[in-house]
Amino acid sequence: MQILRCPAQLQILEETLRKSLPATLPVLGTVMTVARGNPAAHEVLVDSWPRFSVVLTRLCPEEHKDPRDYYTNQLSVFYRDEGALRALLGGTEAVSRARAFQIMGMQEGLDEAVQEVAGARGLHVE
């Protein structure tokens, strides 16, 4: 996963996400916040740039105070390809299993993908 920090990249991503509203709403808000100064200390990650399949937003890792606080450890995701989402959840360190977290998204298939990946790892999902 690649962290987007460049204002020009964040602007392009914001414009791209606006074209897919309302499905992009959970990540679009964070992308806009990061592009405008990032007062909440979030990160925007993409699987590739400029042709991305998954966008993930999260609190910067150094800001995590309590590994059990899944409200603070909130992730938002938008994906164009469910296979890329499953790869993100199952095979990268972008989603840490060392702490509790919530994952938010508005697309069909997200819950099933999370359940499947968690089940394969023997993890409990609520």
16 in any annotated domain: yes
List, in sequence order, every residue forming a beta bridge with 79; answer none if it has no partner. Answer: 54
Judge whether 126 lies within some domain: no
3-state secondary structure string, the chain? CEECCCHHHHHHHHHHHHCCCCCCHHHHHHHHHHHCCCCCCEEEEECCCCCCCEEEEEECHHHCCCCCCCCCCEEEEEECCHHHHHHHHHHCCCCCCCCCCEEECCCCCHHHHHHHHHHHCCCCCC
Going residue by residue through the chain (126 aa), what tens digit of pLDDT does each one get?
Answer: 889 999 999 999 999 999 999 999 989 999 999 999 988 888 999 999 999 998 988 888 777 677 676 666 778 889 888 888 888 777 766 666 666 667 778 888 777 877 787 777 766 676
Give me the number of domains the chain comprises.
1
Provide the residue range defining the domain that includes 14: 2-120
Q: Report yes or no on 33 lying in a domain.
A: yes
